[in-house]
Structure 1
Amino acid sequence: MNTTFRSRLPLWLKLLYGSGDWGISSVGMMRSIFYAIYLTDVVGLEPRLASFGALVGIVWDAVNDPIIGVLSDRLHTRWGRRRPFLLWFAIPFGMSFILLWSAPDWDSQAALLTYVTLSFMLADTLQTLVSVPFLSLTPELTPDYDERTTLTSFRSFFQLTGALSVVIAAPMIVDMVIESGGTQQQGFMLVGAIFGSIGALPLLMIGLFVRERSTPEQRQSLPFRETLRAAWQNVPFRFSVGIHMLNWSAVDMVAVTFPYFLLYWVAQGDLLAKINVLGIDLAYESAFFGILMSVCILFIPFWLWLAKRRNKREAYMIGMIFWVAVALMIYTIQPGETTYLLFLAALAGIGVSAAYVLPDSIFADVIEWDELRTRRRQEGIFYGIRTLIRKLTGALVIFVTLQLLGWSGYQNPPDGVAQFMQPASAVAMIRLLVSPIGAAIVCGTIVFAWLFPLSREQHRRIQQLLEQRRGRTGVM
């Protein structure tokens, strides 16, 4: 009877832990939305060549993500398993975000590709060194089904506010630098310095003040190859990974392609185009993503309520069905229709909110299923594999998008121009990517959610069996 009471977390801890996702999210969102167009339109890389740089960087993630997950599972210190990573790498993680946007002004495409690829690999490795241990804390802080949903909602709130801050502020900061006589390159570096510094602080504070919940199973471990095999044998994990993979592929598709869509279709190539929102002139990206993210944040309580009222799986499916409908409507936007554009941005935010808040909460429940079966807690390897798949699918989205843009005839705009139009074939490809192709990916998440095998009642039964086992272990 006291288990539920003991599992409740204080408000300050939920706020502090949730704030850790502000930095990870703002850095990730900045990279997701602006990195591809930064490579093609600022660095000047040919799209198909730029796609290989992104792909190589994520192949490196295929090596470091599971390894870091295993290391965080096996690390034993008086501070715990996860906290040391946050203490050691929070500040380097923030500094690496400046390096990511610091490509030199070289003429050689090969040299530029090498530089941006190595910079990406370094920044991404440091992000993994904090994100995997940070995410692995979720099931260790509380065993309760609904409390995890609440904890995840705090994370999602900061995740979305971080994303909202960067999508509104980044274009404005870059414009301010240009208006002051600087370059786009310098503007991006300033954005990296600001958001990297702010994002590192909460992660460092979590490392200092958050305590991990210890269980006897945490001290057991498997060889790396056996652990990977055990992960595949976790049936709920397979479906959860499918949800996660397609969910974030859809989010990445929106993030990568919409800057191109806004610039070359809605704004008809006007690089300095603005939308007036509440008396403020905003860049198209700031207005569209700002409204989308604002609605995302507002709808977090709704999805939390619906998940508790029904269950996480059904709530998620409802959100994705709504998103599919909005994604198909986006294809009907015509050049200059800014009011309609912002209306659909608000509607899209409702569905995207479900994509942010629910998959992580669903994923946390697969840990106990595995613990019941194997008698081991291996959050690190599961979150490491999940993060690996997240980044691999993100890399695939960028790779495929840039390849398709290159083959469709996309051209790098000349330096210093204020108006530049892409060929009709490239614009047609951009419209296909943002609407019907994105909608098809979201449909895949609905299928995986429908097949996900763990309900609230099944998870509670697993929790009861684990508590009984731990009680017997404690007596012995």
Structure 2
Amino acid sequence: MSNRLSFQTKFTYGVGEFGTAIPIGLSIFYLLFFLTEVVGLSPTLAGTVLLLGRVWDAINDPVIGWLSDRTQSRWGRRYPWLVLGAVPLGFFCFMQWIVPPLESQTSLFIYYVLMAMGGYAAFSVVILPMVAIATELTPDYDERTSIMSVRSASDILGSVVGLVLAQIIFALVEDTRRQYMILGGVSGIVIVLAIAICVVGTYDQYRPVLRQQTQASSHSMGFQLRRVFQNRSFRWVMGVYLCSWMGVQVTAAMLPYFVTDWMQLGEQHFTQMAIVVQGSSVSMLPFWLWITKRTSKQMVYFAGAPITLIGVGLLGLVQPGQVAAMYLVGGTIGVGLSTFYLVPFAMLPDVIDDEELRTGERQEGMFISMMVFLQKVGVAIAIFVSGWMLDWANQIGPDTRLLVIRLLASALPSVLIFGGVYCVYRYPLTRKAHHRIRLQLERDRKQPQEH
């Protein structure tokens, strides 16, 4: 199997990631705001919806990852899951943006909990195998970083396109509920088409992988989970991902409130601010990829994280009327943010190689499922706490509410990003260490053939 990935493989893989990023980005930036301001749920109930939906992944993420590793078919371990999960994912992406004809807070709460649980389960069915495919396509250190940069760029572009799409729909449609319903319908259709393109476009390059896949482990899921968490390198990667994205997504969830309540601007400024952040992020990805090839994944994170940290810290100091400063800070945040997209998942294939060397088995599905699960739960907990604090601040008074919004958008993410920097510092798999692992794996794989 060639270690180089073709343009078609990278492009069509990117299309699949692009399609999944649109509804994800819309949920990150709009869902909490939609549930509180459009549906009318209290901030506590809205935060609980997100928390319960993602805690549900405590069950389905590891199960799906484990089953994905054990799946045997003529199309390999991953592709059947993509095909089966595409349509249900599109359906739930649409249904979560509908306001049902229900009157009570309790009935609305139950409806959105069910939609969240269904949506997160369908998302896991698709995204876990999709990320596993990227880790399996090539063993090369730099090519893996390259495909992960494609994944990162597609994620960011998808979220930007989702925001632009939202702005267009909001400008053309007056009724607020209808705006979100149309937005959900369009994102649902896009995600199904994007997954289909990804499956068709990447499968030819994946064929040689089918001949090299090791036999699925016969161990129980509990045993596999324990083994995953025993991997020291994975624990630090998990910490990087969890801290980075908890920080960033708390800021994203608070951004609508920051723009409308604190800055006293219209909703269009929130969308434009988000586009500035994501646009500067995607524009910097080629630069960070270039730096990675000349240094290491750790050094790129050390360079990017402080930039985002400075931007997030300055966000809390921006005053009403300082619109240009707000956008400048948003661009600063985005410059470093692209390293959060790139580095953790670029590290993960190296961790999987390390696990194969230690145990003789590859568990892409289990490792990825735990990364995605912990990120979802961590973000859900952070947003739940944010919703609870907003509810508490509302009861005290408007001045307290504004202070809480600023602290949640700036101070809390800063602390979490510091945690991510520490985890990268402790991560042991350097470029040289991974090279030694690959050489040993190649020798081990040749020995049975020689005998």
**TM-score, normalised via structure 2 length:** 0.96
Which amino acid counterpart does residue 457 of structure 1 have in structure 2?
A: K
Is residue 187 from structure 1 mapped to residue 157 from structure 2 by the alignment?
no
Which amino acid counterpart does residue 290 of structure 1 have in structure 2?
A: I
1 CA distance for matches of 2:359 and 2:314?
47
1 CA distance for matches of 2:96 and 2:65?
24
Residue 247 (structure 2) aligned to one of 247, 250, 255? 250
Match of 1:392 in 2: 377
Native 8 Å contact 1:246 1:444 kept in 2: yes
Match of 1:220 in 2: 217
Question: After superposition, where does 1:201-350 map in structure 2 within 5 Å?
Answer: 201-211=193-203, 212=206, 213-214=209-210, 215-267=212-264, 273=266, 283-350=268-335
Instruction: Name the structure with the higher helix share.
Output: 2
Secondary structure of the corresponding residue to residue 14 of structure 1: helix
Counterparts in 2 of 1:460 and 1:218: CA distance versus 1, 3 Å = farther
Is residue 200 from structure 1 mapped to residue 185 from structure 2 by the alignment?
no
2 CA distance for matches of 1:410 and 1:39?
19
Counterparts in 2 of 1:219 and 1:475: CA distance versus 1, 3 Å = farther
2 CA distance for matches of 1:294 and 1:218?
43
Native 8 Å contact 2:94 2:185 kept in 1: yes
Match of 2:173 in 1: 177
2 CA distance for matches of 1:12 and 1:22?
15
**Structure 2 unaligned spans of 5+:** none
2 CA distance for matches of 1:142 and 1:168?
34
1 CA distance for matches of 2:170 and 2:430?
47
Which amino acid counterpart does residue 249 of structure 1 have in structure 2?
A: M
2 CA distance for matches of 1:86 and 1:474?
33
Percent sequence identity over matched residues?
Answer: 32
Which amino acid counterpart does residue 263 of structure 1 have in structure 2?
A: T
2 CA distance for matches of 1:346 and 1:139?
31
1 CA distance for matches of 2:134 and 2:219?
21
Match of 2:105 in 1: 109
Native 8 Å contact 2:8 2:201 kept in 1: no
What's the offset of the Cα at 1:464?
0.6
Match of 2:114 in 1: 118
Match of 1:415 in 2: none
What's the offset of the Cα at 1:332?
1.6
Structure 1 segments of 4+ aligned residues over 6 angstroms from their partners: none
Which amino acid counterpart does residue 380 of structure 1 have in structure 2?
A: G
**Structure 1 unaligned spans of 5+:** 275-282, 412-421
Native 8 Å contact 1:87 1:208 kept in 2: no
Native 8 Å contact 1:168 1:285 kept in 2: no
Q: Deviations over 1:81-114 (max 9, x none)?
A: 1001111111221122110111314320111100
Residue 9 (structure 2) aligned to one of 7, 13, 19? 13
What's the offset of the Cα at 1:41?
0.4
Match of 1:56 in 2: 52
Q: Deviations over 1:193-248 (max 9, x none)?
A: 11221122121222234233132524334211110111011110000000011111
Secondary structure of the corresponding residue to residue 72 of structure 2: coil
Match of 1:414 in 2: none
Q: Deviations over 1:133-179 (max 9, x none)?
A: 0011122100111100001111111111101111222133134211x
Counterparts in 2 of 1:335 and 1:218: CA distance versus 1, 3 Å = farther
> Which shifted more, 213-222 or 384-393?
213-222
Match of 2:438 in 1: 463
Which amino acid counterpart does residue 315 of structure 2 have in structure 1?
A: I
1 CA distance for matches of 2:224 and 2:395?
44
What's the offset of the Cα at 1:424?
1.4
Q: Deviations over 1:280-337 (max 9, x none)?
A: xxx0122101111111111001111111111101111211111111111111211122
2 CA distance for matches of 1:166 and 1:438?
24
Match of 1:381 in 2: 366
What's the offset of the Cα at 1:425?
1.0
Match of 1:88 in 2: 84
Native 8 Å contact 1:291 1:349 kept in 2: yes
1 CA distance for matches of 2:251 and 2:163?
13
Native 8 Å contact 1:175 1:187 kept in 2: no
1 CA distance for matches of 2:194 and 2:35?
29
2 CA distance for matches of 1:250 and 1:118?
27
Is residue 423 from structure 1 mapped to residue 398 from structure 2 by the alignment?
yes
Which amino acid counterpart does residue 202 of structure 1 have in structure 2?
A: A
2 CA distance for matches of 1:199 and 1:317?
34
Native 8 Å contact 1:240 1:362 kept in 2: yes
Which amino acid counterpart does residue 210 of structure 1 have in structure 2?
A: T
Secondary structure of the corresponding residue to residue 104 of structure 1: coil
Counterparts in 2 of 1:216 and 1:95: CA distance versus 1, 3 Å = closer
What's the offset of the Cα at 1:473?
2.4
Which amino acid counterpart does residue 178 of structure 2 have in structure 1?
A: Q
> Which shifted more, 256-265 or 16-25?
16-25
Native 8 Å contact 1:66 1:384 kept in 2: yes
Secondary structure of the corresponding residue to residue 45 of structure 2: helix
Aligned residues: 446
What's the offset of the Cα at 1:117?
0.7
Residue 148 (structure 2) aligned to one of 152, 156, 160? 152
Which amino acid counterpart does residue 103 of structure 2 have in structure 1?
A: D
What's the offset of the Cα at 1:20?
1.3
Secondary structure of the corresponding residue to residue 58 of structure 2: helix
Native 8 Å contact 2:390 2:404 kept in 1: yes
Native 8 Å contact 1:23 1:199 kept in 2: yes
Is residue 437 from structure 1 mapped to residue 412 from structure 2 by the alignment?
yes
2 CA distance for matches of 1:310 and 1:410?
51
Residue 428 (structure 2) aligned to one of 453, 461, 464? 453
2 CA distance for matches of 1:471 and 1:247?
39
Match of 1:279 in 2: none
2 CA distance for matches of 1:410 and 1:148?
50
